[in-house]
Amino acid sequence: MAGILVIGAGQAGASVVAKLRTLGYSGDLTLIGEEPVPPYQRPPLSKQYLLKEMTLDRLFLRSDEFYAENKITLRLGNPVTAIDTAAKTVTVGDAVIPYTQLALTTGSTPRRLPASIGGALNGVYTVRTLADVDQMEPEFRAGRRVVIIGGGYIGLEAASVAAKLGLDVTVVEMAPRILQRVASPETSAFFSKVHAAHGVKILEGVGLDRLIGDTRVTGAKLTNGSELPVDFVIVGVGITPSTAVAEAAGLSIENGIKTDAQGRTSDPAIWAAGDCASFPWKGGRLRLESVGNAIDQADIVAENMLGAGKDYVAQPWFWSDQYDVKLQIAGLNTGYDRIVTRPDGEAVSFWYYKGDTLLAVDAMNDARAYMIGKRLIEMGKSPAPEVIEDPDTNLKALLKA
């Protein structure tokens, strides 16, 4: 019997199938995953799991019993090789599975270094899957030298774990500052100080020329001519949406799988959600790489697969854990022209404005600033920058103003 298929067994895929059952869908429901394990949390992989503060069973989003009780068929360990939109079938291994509707939650893929500059050497890792982290875990031993290529959140989180475990850590960032693509100079400076206090060396404005080694990496030659001896390398230079199967099926691609406001692709029987999907946003298109988006968008897509007809209205939020600092981000800072700093004891928050409009908040160990900033943005309220800057301002009162 044909039913609903979901391709991609990550956070978004797990959310789609769970929501469908919650909403009362009783037909055949299959979740297809390329990895040989059921859906799990990715954020703790490079932090609590690598530090052995979280066991494997706690990573999984749902128990085996949940899938069995809800009659959700898991097809794991095999990639989808083809989607036939005319016949409404999906090919997985030797099986051809029919569908009535299809959801693509294929996620994203880490960018890798080209083999021509040493990207294929042993000892060079990316941080994305459970297998990635299990493979690199034996490298994390005190006194060893790790070079991290890329000063974004993935690279800095890996640096914090390595430093905690007593490794010699160097971060190489080609841009003039870490976090340049995603955060203000103030946030970048804050984390530069945090990492320096933990002994991490951050090299900014210098790129990787190539990795050195015969079969295994032994060094990194930088664009300024210097060479760093290394025991292993972590590459954190961003991710790209996983769109190959969708593209081969003829679906429209635009910075990810292109959807309408309800999550429907260019094929009316196929939907998309999570890292792989781009959706309409303020006159343009947006693709969000976050757990929050994966869950919220997946829930809306599940509802719309059953006829709800709801538009997805994104409320972006993100977080990053580094050492004892919890960074929480509300909103999107694109286009900001002013930063307002609000210290609160050991905590601090940076508020992004465009003109008089509040766009986003970065809060470091300041959950209250984050929560209130998030609510203000969702409500469309923009307190005057001078009000936020004033330490005597009662932030909570701004919600009622």
The ranges assigned to domains in the chain are: 3-109+239-305, 112-234, 324-399
Q: Do domains 3-109+239-305 and 324-399 have the same CATH topology?
A: no
pLDDT band, residue 2 (cuts 50/70/90): confident
| pLDDT exceeds 90 at position 1 | no
pLDDT digit string (tens) for 36-78? 999 999 999 988 999 999 999 999 999 999 999 999 999 999 9
pLDDT, averaged across the chain: 97
Q: Which of 298, 309, 293 is nearest to 17 (CA)?
A: 298
Global pTM exceeds 0.85: yes
Assigned superfamily of 324-399? FAD/NAD-linked reductase, C-terminal dimerisation domain (3.30.390.30)
Q: What is the pLDDT of residue 82?
A: 97
Provide the CATH topology of domain 3-109+239-305: FAD/NAD(P)-binding domain (3.50.50)
Mean pLDDT (whole number) for 136-150: 98
Half-sphere exposure of 96 (CA within 13 A, CB side): 7
Q: What is the pLDDT of residue 370?
A: 98
Percentage of the chain beyond pLDDT 70 is 100
CATH, range 112-234: 3.50.50.60
Mean pLDDT (whole number) for 197-207: 98
Mean pLDDT (whole number) for 9-29: 98
